[in-house]
Structure 1
Amino acid sequence: MRSLKGKTLFISGASRGIGKAIALRAARDGANVVVAAKTVEANPKLPGTIHSAAAEIEAAGGRALPLVVDVRDEAGIAEAAALAARTFGGIDIVVNNASAISLTDTPSTAMKRFDLMMSVNVRGTFAVTQACLPHLRRAANPHILVLSPPPSLDARWYAGHTAYTITKMGMSLCVLGWAAEFREAGIAANALWPRTVIDTAALAMLGGFIKPGHCRTPEIMADAAHAILTRPARECSGNFFMDDEVLRQEGVTDLSGYAVDPAGQLLPDLFVE
C-alpha cells in the first residue's frame, strides 16, 4: 500500500470541499497538512474554517497546521511556507486547490471579479508553488498538483464564461510549463479534474441550479489525488488527469460509492466531454 505517512502537504483552500477531502485522505496515512486558507470564522452559507478542518485532520490521524493564507498575498504565502517547513521539517507536496469562480458572460463580469479570478486562480497558483519550490527541491518525492482541467482551445468551453475559463486554463498552462521546467529536479507537476460535478458547499453558492443528486462526493477527488501523490515523481509528471481515469488505473472499477445518489443521473463537469 502506497502511503503519505510522514509527508507534508501544503494545500491551498483546504478549509472545505475538495481541498479538505484531500487533506483528510492524507491524514489517514499519518501525513502533516498545512491548511492554507482565508476562513477563520464560520459562515452559515459556506461552512468550514481552517481550525475546524485542522481538528478533523488531527482526528483522522494526521498533524495539522492551520494558517491564514490569502493566495493573492505573496509575502503571506512566503511566511506560511517558511513556517510550514520549520514546523514539519520541509514540504513534500503542494496542492493548488484554491479557486474563484464566476460563470458569467463578458458583459456580466465585473472587472473586480475578473481580477479576483486571475489573482486567485492563476497568480495564486503560481505564487504558492514559487514559495514552496525551495522546499520541494529538497524533498524525497516532490509533487505539485493543480486542480485544473486539460488545456483546450475549444471555443465552446469559453463561450458563456470566457473570464473564468481563461483563468482555469492558465492554471493548467502552469502545469505544462512546470512539468518541463522541473523535470531534471525530479519534481512532478500534474493536474487533476473531476469527470462529474462534485458536491461541495461552493455548489450552493452558484445558485443551486445543480442538485447534489447529480454529483459525486469530494472523496473521489481525494482518492485520485492520493494515488497521484504516492506515485514516483520522476515517472509521473505533465499529466492532465481525470479522477475516474486515475482510479481505474489503480484497479478501481466500481465508482458507484462516490455518487451522492446512486440512482441519480451524473452531470459532467465543465470542460469535460
Structure 2
Amino acid sequence: MTTDHNTPRVAIVTGGSRGIGRQTAARLGREGYAVAVTYGGAKDEGEQAAAEVVAAGGQAIAVQADVADEASVAALFDEAERAFGGVDVVVNSAGIMRLAPLAELDLAELDAHLRTNVRGAFVVDQQAVRRVRSGGAIINVTSSLTRFARPGYSAYAASKGAVEAITLILARELRGRDITVNAVAPGPTATALFLDGKPQELIDRMAAEVPLERIAEPSDIADVIAFLAGPARWINGQTLYANGGAI
C-alpha cells in the first residue's frame, strides 16, 4: 500500500529482528512499504530482517533502539524520517516474557516487564502520536493471555493488559487526526519467545485447545497487523484477538 503512485508508506516495526515483528516487517515489504526494522541488541538479526524486507519488494533500514528510552526512540523516528521522508505506520511488537507464579516472581522481573512492555509501548506510542502522518496507523502487539489467564503469566499478562488500556485511550485522544490505533492479541505463536523452555507436550496441549488444531505461525499474526496497517480504516480503538478461536 502506498501513499501515492510513487511514494511508499513508511513503517517502523519495533522488535523487528525476531518473531512476529520480523514476519510483520517482511509482510509489509511485500506490500511495498519502506520499513525501519528496529532491534534491541541483535544487530546481525536486525540487518538480516531488513534484508528480508528488501527481498520481499520493499525498502528497509535496520535501527538499534531501546524502546523504553525516550531519546533512543526519538532518534529512531528521526532516522526513519531521514531515510524515507516520514512515518505512516508504527508497529509496537518489542516485548519480553518471563514466567513464574506470582508468589515466586522476583520483583526485578516484574520491573523488567513494566519497563519494556508498558513503558516501551508508551514511549513508542508517544513518539508515534507526534510523528505519524494523517491516514496512518498505530498497532500495539498485546496478548490473548489477558483472557487465557494461565498460571505463571501474571507479570506478562498484566503488562499486556496495560497496553490494551493505552490503545483505546489513545484512539480517542487522536480524534480528528485520521490515525487509527489498535492492538493485536496473539494466542500461542511459534516464536522463540513463546517456545523457549516449553516441553512439546505443553505445546501440543495448547494447540489442541484451538479449533484449528495448531498454534499460530508468526506469519498468521503478521497478516492481521498488515490488515490494520493498510485497508482496515474503519477498525479503531480495538483489540483483535488473533488466536484461532481458542477464546
Settle same-fold status: TM greater than 0.5: yes
Provide the C-alpha distance between the structure 2 equivalents of 1:107 and 1:173, rounded to a whole number of angstroms. Answer: 25
1:143 aligns with 137
Deviations 1:228-271 (A, max 9, x none): 211354x3211111337xxxxxxxxxxxxxxxxxxxxx8x7xxx
1:29 aligns with 31
CA change 1:243–1:157 in 2 (3 A) is closer
Answering whether residue 96 of structure 2 is matched by residue 94 of structure 1, we say no
Is the partner of 1:82 in helix, strand or coil? helix
Aligned residue pairs: how many?
234
Provide the C-alpha distance between the structure 2 equivalents of 1:205 and 1:150, rounded to a whole number of angstroms. Answer: 18
Contact in 1 for aligned 2:96/2:193 (Cα 8 Å): no
Contact in 2 for aligned 1:4/1:26 (Cα 8 Å): no
TM-score, length-normalised on structure 1?
Answer: 0.78
Deviations 1:154-194 (A, max 9, x none): 7x727543222210101111101101111222211101122
Contact in 1 for aligned 2:102/2:154 (Cα 8 Å): yes
Provide the C-alpha distance between the structure 1 equivalents of 2:73 and 2:232, rounded to a whole number of angstroms. Answer: 27
CA change 1:177–1:10 in 2 (3 A) is same
Shift of 1:23: 0.7
From 48, 52, 58, the counterpart of 1:52: 48
CA change 1:80–1:41 in 2 (3 A) is closer
Answering whether residue 66 of structure 2 is matched by residue 70 of structure 1, we say yes
Shift of 1:98: 0.7
Provide the C-alpha distance between the structure 2 equivalents of 1:206 and 1:132, rounded to a whole number of angstroms. Answer: 34
Contact in 1 for aligned 2:26/2:56 (Cα 8 Å): yes
Contact in 1 for aligned 2:37/2:50 (Cα 8 Å): yes
1:249 aligns with none
Shift of 1:90: 0.5
Matches within 5 A, 1:38-49: 38-41=40-43, 49=45
1:191 aligns with 183
Answering whether residue 198 of structure 2 is matched by residue 207 of structure 1, we say yes
From 112, 122, 129, the counterpart of 1:116: 112
Shift of 1:215: 1.7
Deviations 1:118-138 (A, max 9, x none): 0111100010111232221xx
Provide the C-alpha distance between the structure 1 equivalents of 2:153 and 2:169, rounded to a whole number of angstroms. Answer: 24
CA change 1:150–1:92 in 2 (3 A) is same
Provide the C-alpha distance between the structure 1 equivalents of 2:217 and 2:60, rounded to a whole number of angstroms. Answer: 23
Shift of 1:117: 0.5
Answering whether residue 219 of structure 2 is matched by residue 219 of structure 1, we say yes
2:240 aligns with 241
2:211 aligns with none
The one-letter amino acid paired with 1:201 is: A
Shift of 1:216: 2.1
CA change 1:179–1:85 in 2 (3 A) is same
Is the partner of 1:26 in helix, strand or coil? helix
2:20 aligns with 18
Percent identity, aligned pairs only?
A: 28
Gaps of 5+ in 2: 208-213
Is the partner of 1:66 in helix, strand or coil? strand
Contact in 1 for aligned 2:12/2:38 (Cα 8 Å): yes
Is the partner of 2:240 in helix, strand or coil? strand
Gaps of 5+ in 1: 43-48, 245-265
Contact in 2 for aligned 1:11/1:95 (Cα 8 Å): yes
The one-letter amino acid paired with 1:189 is: V
TM-score, length-normalised on structure 2?
Answer: 0.86
Provide the C-alpha distance between the structure 2 equivalents of 1:208 and 1:132, rounded to a whole number of angstroms. Answer: 38
What is the RMSD of the two structures over their aligned residues, measured on CA atoms?
Answer: 2.4
Answering whether residue 75 of structure 2 is matched by residue 83 of structure 1, we say no
The one-letter amino acid paired with 1:178 is: L
